[in-house]
Structure 1
Amino acid sequence: MGNNQTVDSTPTDKRTPFGKEMLKHFLFDPSFKNLNHGSFGTFPRAVQEKQRKYMDAMEARPDPFIRYDYPKALDVSREAVAKVLNAPIPTVVYVPNATHGINTVLTNLVWDRDGKDEILYFSTIYGACGKTVNYVCEANHDIVKGREMRLQFPMEDASVLDLLRDTIKASRAEGKTPRIAIFDTVSSLPGVRMPFESLTAICQEERVLSLIDGAHGIGHIHIDLRALDPDFFVSNCHKWLYVPRGCAVLYVPERNQHLMRSTLPTSHGFVPRGNAAVGLANPLGFGNTNSQFVQNFEFVGTIDSTNYLVLPDSLKWRHAVCGGEEAIIDYNTKLAQQGGQLVAKILGTEVMDNSTKTLTDCCLVNVRLPLTANPTKIPGLTTLDPGLGMRAINWMETFLVDEHKTFMAIYFFHNQWWTRLSGQVYLDLSDFEWAGQKLKEMCERVREEKFEEA
């Protein structure tokens, strides 16, 4: 960068054991226990310091930095994220978050005017993405429609795959065109690993576009995009990769890049068809040799994009302090698996999993609470009216924040109440034991219907 504005990206922290000792690197309030890493992620102090250096460099020389230094640093970051995903560099760009990426893909697709196109999605689709499907159908005057595939967890991967095959077959039997299928790497609620590799293969066989919501993807599970070869893939870097919010990588193979006509919002990189160009070209300097697709996403309005630039610093920190991607994923996955079993034992319930244990092959775990809406008496479970149960969820989540300085996602699924917990390098089994005890205490108050008492 010009005028000595170079940002040093050499990590200074040394290898630290996983567990409580790792907390010193993060920015948590000492009284707060972060058991819900999966929702919003976090990042270490060292990465925050790198980002602040970029911010200082930008404020020292706004025009030179934004127009000339920033695109060069962005290319370095794109190269780093492409390496982690094993993807060609020209196929990856940044967007603010996974929902933004899903919106980008669905709003760019041109739907057939015959009204037969369908968007296939599973019932566990992330809520915002489900609403995106609703909006896209509405905005296109219902010439495209959504088709939901109902999941009944716990279920085997083979059943999930059969459901997709059967849904494609049913769509075509009704004279429809299954145009694109959306599915997760790891779903949100419940937080379970999906057989996304095989789902992608089915889409390839059936000539249906695949759109993978990898919100829980990079930094969480191993992703190899060259081997996977989806049509579209988006993954949040701020959830599990220790990058500041919001930062997500959007992958579009070159065969599909012509379909992504515009960013959200449409910005300088958009090139209208014909001679209808309005305004100036991309303001990020001259001599830019990146493809039209990449240039389209380089500058999308004036926002603070320094969170995109520190991804290489995050990767270096993960290597120097944590021992690298393999070590992080292995620890977090095993901790979630073992911690989930510990919490289930304390509650006298069970972990959500199938017989082949694929649902828990990730860093999230779902544990059933000893509560049910099933009118049939189940040993060890208290039957609640669903209305009362939803009030109990609101109370439990608020009580956890106010009284116990933590947060655990609690949700209702298939007539049962569940909690979702995250494995993470700054946690250990004692944190899960603590969580289990607090959940047990709260469930006892709910059982006695005393939970709303002051």
Structure 2
Amino acid sequence: MSESESEPKYKLGEEIRKEFYLDENILFVNHGSYGAVPKRVFQKRQSYQGQIERCPDIWFAWQLKALYDENIEALAEFVGADPKNIAFVLNSTTGVNTVLKNILLEPEDILLLNSHTYGACAKTVDCAVKRAGADIMSLDIILPIRSDEQLVDQLVEVCKRHAGIRLVIIDHISSPSAIVFPVEKIIRELHKLGVLVLVDGAHAPGQLDLNLEKLGADFYTGNLHKWCFAPRGSAFLWVNKKHRDSIQPLVTSHNYQQDFTLQFFFQGTMDHSSYLCTKESLQFMRDCGGMKGIKDHTESLLDWAQQMLCHALGTSILPIPPSLQAPYMRVLRLPELKGYNCTTASEETAHSVMDVIKSYSVKQEDADNLTDYLIREHNCIAAITCFSGHLWLRISGTVYNTKENYLALKDILLKMKAE
């Protein structure tokens, strides 16, 4: 993706917070989960919804398609895609479902995921293989990770040992650990083995420069509501040209058997207004200084926050090299907190995805309880995750975050540690 940077319209930090509807009484250090919609984008969506209600017949018959095409073009340019290969979907989970429910699996086929795969996607895989009588494997990602090659080699070795692996589902940026997987290298090596690759890029758009045609995955899905400031219910599915004719939307409607984008466009009287805000959301990013301006503000802030929190809490950062660290998220190990089990038994490689799901659910219970406690007792929105036998704190940063946010988080955690 090439982006022409423009002079920033906003000053990032405390000043730009007024451009959002965020509650002043709540501490937000978890933009990565649900994002936050700028007022101007929210109002843009409302204006489209108003147009719909003034005359639905005119909207659906004459106005919608041109607006949809404009936003597809803007999205395609942003992520480096041919507009014919990309379509809007509600979220990345929808994208993963769409691919897995279109692929014709045989009983001897194996789908490979890993211990950092998003839980909803792991369940989608389980659903897909059960329908076909196929099999599934989950690779345990071992910490510490010392290099890109370690991750690539782990995946390649498993695929070499198990010739039945048909498809690998890999995150671009993992949700629990914020690890940037070296997907370009993974795709290249797995394609040599004849293995298909589905990239779950839920966290990637807006954090990483994307050129999907060059990347060359078989399938790629990503959210726009997280780091691109779009309304929730706004994501995309990109499909490699060689697979395009075999992928249909989950809902079959009047454009059945027409071209890829048209089939996804027309699905009854669905509300397209979130998709139509793509241009406005991307313009908001440009008005913040573009990806470079946002990165300049956020990366140094999070580097400082991570080190400050580790020093104050007497804990350590996630043991990965800088090349695998997400720009706008950081992960550090939680210290022992009274009433919460911060260390559990480590995972083993699992051959049943339900083993992974059940194991994840048991270990995630304390993480969820702690997340709830922070909200209820401290008005603090933070992400607590569980993997590799430990609870971890995942902090996010974006245009409205400041040092004061993370200092306030430190005070809350120190109070809990002292109890």
Q: Same fold (TM over 0.5)?
A: yes
* Bigger mean CA deviation after superposition, 406-415 or 16-25: 406-415
| Alpha-carbon distance in structure 2 between the residues aligned to 1:444 and 1:350 | 18
Distance 1:226 1:215 in 2: 18
RMSD over aligned Cα atoms: 2.1
Letter in 2 for 1:162: D
Aligned partner of 1:217 in structure 2 is 204
Match of 1:267 in 2: 253
- AA partner of residue 399 (structure 2): V
Q: 2:186 aligns with which of 172, 183, 199?
A: 199
| Equivalent-residue separation in structure 2 for 1:90 and 1:71 (angstroms) | 15
Tell me the equivalent position of 1:313.
280
Higher-Rg member (1/2): 1
Q: How far apart, CA to CA, are the structure 1 residues paired with 2:414 and 2:128?
A: 43
- Measured against aligned partners, the alpha-carbon deviations of 1:309-359 in whole angstroms (never above 9, x if no partner) come to 010011112212x011222234333322322121111111111132x3223
The answer to whether 1:422 aligns with 2:396 is yes
**Residue 85 (structure 2) pairs with residue 91 (structure 1):** yes
- After TM superposition, give the deviation of residue 162 of structure 1 in Å: 0.7
What does 1:211-250 correspond to in 2, within 5 Å?
A: 211-250=198-237
Listed one character per residue, the Cα deviations across residues 41-94 of structure 1 (whole Å, up to 9, x for unaligned) are: 111001111111111111111011112211110100000011111111111100
Q: 1:169 to 1:436 in 2, by over 3 A?
A: same
Which of 322, 328, 332 is 1:367 aligned to?
A: 332
2:63 aligned to 56, 59, 69, which one?
69
* Alpha-carbon distance change, 431 to 205 in structure 1, aligned in 2, over 3 angstroms: same
Q: Secondary structure at the match of 1:257?
A: helix
Contact 2:105 2:129 in 1 (8 A): no
Say which SS state the counterpart of residue 229 (structure 2) adopts. coil
* Equivalent residues of 1:219, 1:329 under 8 A apart: no
Partner of 2:408: 434
Amino acid at match of 1:434: A
C-alpha contact (below 8 Å) 1:77/1:309 kept by paired residues: yes
Any stretches of 5+ residues in structure 2 without a counterpart? 1-6, 337-341, 346-359
Residues 273-313 of structure 1, C-alpha deviations (whole Å, 9 max, x = no match):
xxxxxxxxxxxxxxxxxx61111100223222100001001
Q: TM-score, normalised by structure 2?
A: 0.89
Displacement over 4 Å in runs of 4+: 386-392
Change (3 A) 1:31 1:40: same
AA partner of residue 180 (structure 2): R
Identity of aligned residues (%): 30
Q: 1:348 aligns with which of 292, 309, 314?
A: 314
- 1:366-387 Cα offsets, whole Å, 9 max, x none, are 1111125379xxxxxxxxxx99
- The separation in 2 between residues aligned to 1:294 and 1:107, in whole angstroms, is 18
Moved more, 420-429 or 337-346: 337-346
> 1:412: Cα distance to partner?
2.8
**Aligned residue pair count:** 393
1:188 aligns with 2:175: yes
Q: Which amino acid aligns with 2:69?
A: D
The gaps in structure 1 that reach 5 residues or longer are 1-12, 272-290, 376-385, 446-454
TM-aligned CA deviation for residue 31 of structure 1:
0.7
CA contact (8 A) 2:160 2:193 kept: no
Does residue 167 of the first structure (1) align with residue 137 of the second (2)? Answer: no
Other-structure match for 1:381: none
| 1:186/1:362 contact within 8 Å kept | no
Give deviations 1:406-444, integer Å, cap 9, x for gaps.
211113322322111101110022211221221222233
Summarize the Cα distance change of 1:171–1:388 in structure 2 as closer, same or farther, 3 Å threshold.
closer
Alignment partner, residue 401 of structure 1: 375
Candidates 128, 144, 155, aligned match of 1:136: 128
Note if 1:53 corresponds to 2:18. Answer: no
TM-score if structure 1 supplies the norm length? 0.82
* Corresponding position of 2:102: 108
Aligned equivalents of 2:137 and 2:362: distance in 1?
Answer: 31
- CA–CA separation in structure 1 for the residues paired with 2:394 and 2:234: 23
CA contact (8 A) 2:310 2:332 kept: yes
- Greater RCO (CA < 8 Å, at least 6 residues apart): 2
**Preserved CA contact (<8 Å) 1:363 1:423:** yes
